[in-house]
Structure 1
Amino acid sequence: MFDQLELHLIRDLAMDRKMNLEKVINEKTSHPLKHQNLNEINRLMIESKKFSELHQKALILAGE
Protein backbone atom coordinates (compact mmCIF):
# COMPACT_ATOMS: atom_id res chain seq x y z
CA MET A 1 0.00 0.00 0.00
CA PHE A 2 2.25 2.84 1.27
CA ASP A 3 5.84 2.63 2.38
CA GLN A 4 7.10 4.38 5.53
CA LEU A 5 8.40 7.41 3.64
CA GLU A 6 5.03 7.94 1.96
CA LEU A 7 3.21 7.60 5.27
CA HIS A 8 5.49 10.16 6.91
CA LEU A 9 4.94 12.52 3.99
CA ILE A 10 1.16 12.10 4.22
CA ARG A 11 1.32 12.64 7.98
CA ASP A 12 3.41 15.80 7.66
CA LEU A 13 1.39 17.29 4.80
CA ALA A 14 -1.89 16.58 6.58
CA MET A 15 -0.64 18.26 9.75
CA ASP A 16 0.67 21.28 7.81
CA ARG A 17 -2.66 21.70 6.00
CA LYS A 18 -4.60 21.31 9.26
CA MET A 19 -2.46 23.95 10.97
CA ASN A 20 -2.87 26.35 8.04
CA LEU A 21 -6.63 25.85 8.05
CA GLU A 22 -6.80 26.46 11.80
CA LYS A 23 -4.87 29.72 11.33
CA VAL A 24 -7.35 30.87 8.67
CA ILE A 25 -10.29 29.82 10.87
CA ASN A 26 -8.89 31.80 13.81
CA GLU A 27 -8.42 34.87 11.61
CA LYS A 28 -11.96 34.61 10.25
CA THR A 29 -13.59 34.00 13.64
CA SER A 30 -11.83 36.98 15.19
CA HIS A 31 -12.93 39.29 12.35
CA PRO A 32 -15.68 41.77 13.29
CA LEU A 33 -17.81 40.60 10.35
CA LYS A 34 -17.43 36.90 11.13
CA HIS A 35 -21.19 36.36 10.89
CA GLN A 36 -20.86 36.98 7.14
CA ASN A 37 -18.31 34.16 6.87
CA LEU A 38 -20.09 31.42 8.84
CA ASN A 39 -20.56 29.10 5.85
CA GLU A 40 -16.91 29.41 4.90
CA ILE A 41 -15.80 28.97 8.52
CA ASN A 42 -17.90 25.80 8.81
CA ARG A 43 -16.46 24.45 5.56
CA LEU A 44 -12.92 25.15 6.74
CA MET A 45 -13.61 23.46 10.08
CA ILE A 46 -14.87 20.33 8.30
CA GLU A 47 -11.82 20.33 6.03
CA SER A 48 -9.53 20.76 9.04
CA LYS A 49 -11.17 17.81 10.78
CA LYS A 50 -10.67 15.63 7.68
CA PHE A 51 -6.97 16.49 7.55
CA SER A 52 -6.70 15.74 11.27
CA GLU A 53 -8.25 12.31 10.65
CA LEU A 54 -5.87 11.70 7.74
CA HIS A 55 -2.95 12.62 9.98
CA GLN A 56 -4.14 10.15 12.63
CA LYS A 57 -4.59 7.36 10.07
CA ALA A 58 -1.08 7.94 8.74
CA LEU A 59 0.31 7.76 12.28
CA ILE A 60 -1.47 4.46 12.89
CA LEU A 61 -0.35 2.97 9.57
CA ALA A 62 3.23 4.08 10.23
CA GLY A 63 3.09 2.40 13.63
CA GLU A 64 3.65 5.60 15.59
Structure 2
Amino acid sequence: MKIAAVIVTYHPDIALLLTNVEAVMPPVKAVLVVDNHSENIDAIQAALPVNTKIHVEKNVGYSQSNQ
Protein backbone atom coordinates (compact mmCIF):
# COMPACT_ATOMS: atom_id res chain seq x y z
CA MET A 1 0.00 0.00 0.00
CA LYS A 2 1.31 3.46 -0.92
CA ILE A 3 0.41 6.29 1.42
CA ALA A 4 1.16 10.00 1.06
CA ALA A 5 0.86 12.77 3.64
CA VAL A 6 -0.47 16.25 2.85
CA ILE A 7 0.68 19.30 4.80
CA VAL A 8 -1.12 22.56 4.03
CA THR A 9 0.82 25.74 4.84
CA TYR A 10 0.33 29.48 4.91
CA HIS A 11 3.30 31.57 6.06
CA PRO A 12 4.73 28.66 8.05
CA ASP A 13 7.54 28.77 10.54
CA ILE A 14 10.23 26.96 8.53
CA ALA A 15 11.73 25.07 11.50
CA LEU A 16 8.31 23.82 12.60
CA LEU A 17 7.41 22.81 9.05
CA LEU A 18 10.63 20.79 8.77
CA THR A 19 9.85 19.11 12.10
CA ASN A 20 6.38 18.16 10.81
CA VAL A 21 7.71 16.84 7.49
CA GLU A 22 10.37 14.75 9.22
CA ALA A 23 7.78 13.38 11.65
CA VAL A 24 5.50 12.02 8.92
CA MET A 25 8.21 10.83 6.49
CA PRO A 26 9.04 7.41 7.93
CA PRO A 27 5.67 5.71 7.39
CA VAL A 28 4.68 7.35 4.08
CA LYS A 29 5.88 7.15 0.46
CA ALA A 30 5.61 10.89 -0.25
CA VAL A 31 4.98 14.17 1.51
CA LEU A 32 2.99 16.78 -0.41
CA VAL A 33 3.42 20.31 0.88
CA VAL A 34 0.61 22.51 -0.43
CA ASP A 35 1.36 26.16 0.19
CA ASN A 36 -1.42 28.75 0.05
CA HIS A 37 0.60 31.55 -1.54
CA SER A 38 2.97 32.34 1.33
CA GLU A 39 5.29 35.28 0.93
CA ASN A 40 8.21 33.08 2.02
CA ILE A 41 7.69 30.37 -0.63
CA ASP A 42 11.33 30.55 -1.77
CA ALA A 43 12.55 29.85 1.77
CA ILE A 44 10.03 27.01 2.12
CA GLN A 45 11.14 25.35 -1.12
CA ALA A 46 14.82 25.77 -0.30
CA ALA A 47 14.45 24.27 3.18
CA LEU A 48 12.38 21.21 2.38
CA PRO A 49 13.96 17.87 1.54
CA VAL A 50 13.43 16.52 -1.97
CA ASN A 51 9.70 15.77 -1.95
CA THR A 52 6.76 16.79 -4.04
CA LYS A 53 5.99 20.43 -3.37
CA ILE A 54 2.96 22.30 -4.61
CA HIS A 55 2.63 26.06 -4.57
CA VAL A 56 -0.86 27.50 -5.02
CA GLU A 57 -0.96 30.79 -6.91
CA LYS A 58 -3.57 32.22 -4.54
CA ASN A 59 -4.87 31.36 -1.10
CA VAL A 60 -7.67 28.87 -1.73
CA GLY A 61 -8.19 27.93 1.92
CA TYR A 62 -7.51 24.79 3.89
CA SER A 63 -10.35 22.62 2.55
CA GLN A 64 -9.65 23.20 -1.12
CA SER A 65 -5.90 22.76 -0.58
CA ASN A 66 -6.54 19.21 0.61
CA GLN A 67 -8.35 18.17 -2.56
TM-score normalised by the chain length of structure 1: 0.31
Greater Rg over alpha carbons, structure? 1
Question: Higher helix proportion, which one?
Answer: 1
Higher RCO structure (Cα 8 Å, ≥6 apart): 1
TM-score normalised by the chain length of structure 2: 0.30
Question: Higher strand proportion, which one?
Answer: 2
